[in-house]
Amino acid sequence: MRELNWERNFLVRRWKLRMRYALMGMIQCILRPRRKLHDLSLSSSVKKILIVRNDRIGDMIASTALIRNLSRCGYEIHVSSRQPSLAIIEHNPHVSGTFVYDDSSLGAWLNTIRTIRKEKFDLAVDVRCNRFVDLKNIVFCSYIRTPILAGFNKSNFATFNFSIPYYSPESHVTVQLRTLLDQLHVTPDDLHYELFVSDEIRDKASSFLQSLDNPEGKKIAVFNPFGSVAARFLSDEQISIVCRLLSNQYHVVLIGEKERTRHVQASEHASLFDSQSVLDVIPLIELADIVVSVDTAIVHMATCYQKNTIAFYINTVPVAPVSTSIKVVRSHEMFLLNSKFQDYFQDKKYIISAAPDRTIPVNHLVWAPNNPHAQQIVFDSEPIRDVESALFEAEVAQALKTIHEGAKKSCPQSDEGNGQETVVPCAAAESRI
């Protein structure tokens, strides 16, 4: 009876999922259609470009490579994003203007659209390549005043009159950015990230380090135990392990939300860096000797300066479940069905004609450190705090040893330049690879 109930529940869920995407299809009625354009490189009138990057700080850091390459080719670059992400490019000389994207409420979102429509662009590009559907972002892009609206995997929307197909589940994000530059016939550099801050902010970081109670003159370790996603937070015990292992050679400096880091500071006797904005952290990382982080934004900052880094990631690759439980099997099927609907909703025309590889993107590869001096530890457990302490300590100790000995395996700094990677299995994950 229990299995029959689960089967019935999943039939209902599948029906609701189909209805949801059918209703979402009605969004096409309010999107502004555009005239087809078959080749971006043939449009010599493109001078003013809007980069739409309405997501997180780490994504913006990776996009600084794209911004720089377009700017050095003579394009006037403007950027739309959320306020925290725009702070990253506040002092970027390659950016001519910015627009705050705010979808926290219906009124704020509509005001965002009104603001962006006051400007006219020759080309707007939604550089997000996430496979999930963000309806607010799609509508926002639709009403940008531009004759050419480009995006990745958007063939099903008439408002995007230039869809760039991109199905490369294991390639680094810089490969995707290079694809856009290729469409514009721009020959890119090595696509390194870059960050700019004011002298005042640099002086603040320098003064902080000089004020530290560090009589032994230890090297500086910047430690970020709390990320933007709760699943990546380290437990108190894991934080103690990291601090203990680092304290042998480093003076530990904690960064992150004040309320959480104060608790760690009290128990670990580490120094707390009081940052007013994300920009304050940048020169601190530049001056550090090693960076340890669960947050990809901090990892990408460390990549800008090729710092020794230990980066914690979660393996999000979905695999067929080992368990024969109806609940587990059907949940996996629902995940795959939802992914299929998302892909077809946005890119059905191209998928039908080209049958691309629709494998779910591997997050820890797409957003890998891109730094030969980084040690990437990938846990098969979500959240990370569920990883056994002995296993966690062994991996961190090995990463530190590898960094200190300089015995990293050969890691070419190519488009997919990931750091050394260790995938750690966990008993808590029933069916991971």
Distance (Å, rounded) from C-alpha 290 to C-alpha 253?
Answer: 10
pLDDT band, very low/low/confident/very high, at 424 (cuts 50, 70, 90)? low
Q: Which of 263, 62, 339 is nearest to 180 (CA)?
A: 62
Taking each helix axis as running N to C, give the angle between helix 57-71 and helix 296-304, from 0 to 180 degrees, rounded to the nearest 10. Answer: 40
Q: What angle do CA 374, 376, 382 make, to 5 degrees?
A: 150
Query: What CATH number does the domain located at 199-317+363-424 have?
Result: 3.40.50.2000
| pLDDT tens figures, 363-412 | 999 999 999 999 999 998 788 999 999 999 999 999 999 998 873 444 44
Question: What are the tokens at 25?
Answer: 């299809």
Tokens 């199905």 belong to residue: 167
Query: Residue range 37-52: average pLDDT?
Result: 80
Query: Residue range 405-421: average pLDDT?
Result: 53
Query: Residue range 419-423: average pLDDT?
Result: 59
| pLDDT tens figures, 102-149 | 999 999 999 999 999 999 999 999 999 877 899 999 999 999 999 999
Distance (Å, rounded) from C-alpha 336 to C-alpha 319?
Answer: 10
Asked if residue 97 lies in contact with residue 80, where contact means CB atoms within 8 angstroms, the answer is no
Q: Indicate if 199-317+363-424 has the same CATH topology as 26-183.
A: yes
User: For the chain, which residues make up each domain, given as ranges?
Assistant: 26-183, 199-317+363-424
What are the residue ranges of helices labelled H in 89-219?
106-116, 135-142, 173-183, 199-210
pLDDT of residue 83: 94
Ordered strands of the 48-52 beta sheet: 97-100, 76-81, 48-52, 123-126, 149-152, 162-164
pLDDT band, very low/low/confident/very high, at 423 (cuts 50, 70, 90)? low
Q: Which of 291, 388, 335 is nearest to 17 (CA)?
A: 335
Cβ-defined contacts of 97-100 (< 8 Å, 24+): 99/50
Topology (CATH) of 26-183: Rossmann fold (3.40.50)
Q: Return the number of other C-beta atoms located less than 10 Å from residue 186's C-beta.
A: 16
